Chain A
Amino acid sequence: MALTLQRGSLGRQGFPCRLWASSVGKKVVMAVTGGILLGYVVAHMVGNLTIFFGDIDGYGVFLRELLSPVLGYGGFVWVVRVVLLLAVVLHMTAAVQLARRAARARPVGYARRPKVQGGYAARTMRWGGVILALFVVYHLLDLTAGVLNPHGVEGRIHANVVADFQHWYVVAAYTLAVVALGFHLRHGMWSALRSLGKAPGASSAAALIVAVGITVGFLAVPYAVLFGIVR
């Protein structure tokens, strides 16, 4: 049987280019980079919780000593930072390109348009992402560079965190960002699975549970400081 299979113009390009050229491929890139960032967020949250159970300053030293025979002191942290930066750049570039494509696809809007199906999480992915990006900049200046931190001494993580969350407005800013993260993850995890071609039955409930868990885990530290549980 002679089949004439159409070969698109993309057929001769390599796998990454082909993926990036397609709107579906960009969502695959967003799913994979989102997964990397989710993995980091979970590890970060677990690390934060050492403030309740042990020595968070020592945890910071532990991270810098990881693989230090190979990477040198602090090398591991820099490897992670480079991977995260790449993931964020790819994730945001794909998001911006898809948002612009969506705007081009509907140049004239509707006179009346109520919200029908999409939940709050799905509708706020783009602006929620912008809030998260701005927060990450503030967060790095606050607790990594120490520039915006009231204490801001490198390596004195516990003291920096406690100095931060004495102030209700810092707690409010972190709360806004973490809640935005929860919403972003709630739709993001569910959607990423479908972008990768999986539609497991319980994924909606699972995404909600993980999103709420991460939100609570991150909010535990600022509120513990604000209410004097962690000094």
Chain B
Amino acid sequence: MKYRVRVWRQAGPTAPGRLVEYEIDDVTADMSFLEMLDVLNERLQLAGEDPVAFDHDCREGICGACGVMIDGVAHGPGKATTTCQLHMRQFDPADPIVVEPWRAAPFPVVRDLVVDRSALDRVIESGGYISTRAGAAPDAHALPVPKLDADTAFEAAACIGCGACVAACPNGSSMLFTAAKATHLGVLPQGQPERYTRARNMVEAQDDLGFGGCTLTGECTAVCPKGIPLTAIARLNRDVLSDAMRSA
């Protein structure tokens, strides 16, 4: 089958970019979206042109490296799906597919579809960890965790840090990412000592990095490949508010 794609091409961080249309033959419906881009890049290289730069790693939906805006939807039309797990059968060959990088001030474009998402690492550094005594591993059942807490923590821990929430948010907010980390650590006993300072510091960090504020539009959770729920954001807000009142 023949597909048409309109891909954002930008030679470098400060270079001007534009959408360039390509026609790609020999794409099968069973190819993944990234395989379609691979086919395009082989053609471009054979023609002596620069291939389209895009981030990818595991190609099995668990690493968080891939992720582009496809027809204006982060990770494309698949529900709870990363770009690498999306298949060409989801697209109508009659319509050109618009492919753009994540757009947010804290995510500067490096080249073509690749953005620098290290701002999310800065948010993690500000509180997305627990401080614990190193040494012999504790007994498996030394620290009981209620089943519901374990489930809530696990659901939040599924976040792969792909940045789709930021890309989809009309405010360019990283709240769903930050809330996933604060929930993952904040409901477990190991995360309790730093729970409130973690919430405060991570929100402060994302504010300082230039992310927008959350207005609970729900765009983030609609595109999240791991289905992190909006209730995580309410939980983060509660911890930030508790922190402010505790140290008042």
Question: Chain B contacts of A19 at CB under 8 A?
Answer: 244
Contact: A105 with B105, CB < 8 Å? Answer: yes
CA distance A190 to B230 in the complex (A): 12
A24-B203, A114-B71, A118-B217 are contacts. A105–B173 as well, Cβ < 8 Å?
yes
Check if B170 is an interface residue, CB within 8 A of chain A.
yes
Instruction: Provide the residues of chain A in CB contact with B242, threshold 8 Å.
Output: 197
Which of A48-56, A96-104, A152-160, A211-219 sits within the interface?
A: A96-104
Contact of A198 among B133, B201, B238 (CB under 8 A): B238
Is B217 touching A117 in the complex (CB atoms < 8 A)? Answer: yes
- Which residue of the partner chain, among B133, B207, B215, contacts A22 with CB atoms under 8 Å? B207
- B131 adjacent to chain A (CB < 8 Å): yes
A22 and B241 CA atoms in complex are apart in Å by: 10
Tell me whether B171 and A28 are in contact (CB under 8 A).
no
CA distance A182 to B22 in the complex (A): 47
A19 to B236, CA, bound (A): 14
Residue B72 CB within 8 A of the other chain: yes
A-B contacts at CB below 8 angstroms, number? 162
Across-interface contacts of A199 in B (CB, < 8 A): 230-231, 234-235
Dominant secondary structure of chain B at its interface with chain A = mixed
How many Å from the CB of A66 to the closest CB on chain B? 33
- Docked-complex contact A101 and B212, CB < 8 angstroms: yes
Say whether A8 contacts B204, CB under 8 Å.
yes
Instruction: List A residues 89-121 near B (Cβ within 8 Å).
Output: 98, 101-102, 104-114, 116-118
List, in ascending order, chain A residues with CB within 8 A of B236's CB.
24
A227 within 8 A of B: no
Q: Give complex CA distance A94, B41 in Å.
A: 47
| Bound: A165/B236 CA distance, A | 47
Write the chain B residue with the least CB distance to A94: B213
Chain B residues contacting A194 (CB-CB under 8 Å) are 216, 230, 233-234, 237
Q: How far is the CA of A187 from the CA of B217 in the complex (A)?
A: 9
- Contact pattern, B 90-107, Cβ under 8 Å of A = 1, otherwise 0: 000000001010011110
Query: Contact between A116 and B133 (Cβ–Cβ < 8 Å)?
Result: no
Q: Does A231 contact B (CB under 8 A)?
A: no
Q: Mark A128-147, 1 if CB is under 8 A from B, else 0.
A: 00000000000000000000
Is A45 in the interface zone, CB < 8 Å from B? Answer: no
For the complex formed, measure the closest distance between the CB of A117 and the CB atoms of chain B, giving whole angstroms. Answer: 4
Considering only residues 151-198 of chain A, those with a C-beta below 8 Å from chain B are 187, 190-191, 193-198
Identify which of A9-17, A36-44, A79-87 touches chain B: A9-17
Interface residues of A (CB under 8 A from B): 1, 3-8, 10-11, 14-15, 18-19, 22-28, 98, 101-102, 104-114, 116-118, 122-123, 125, 187, 190-191, 193-199
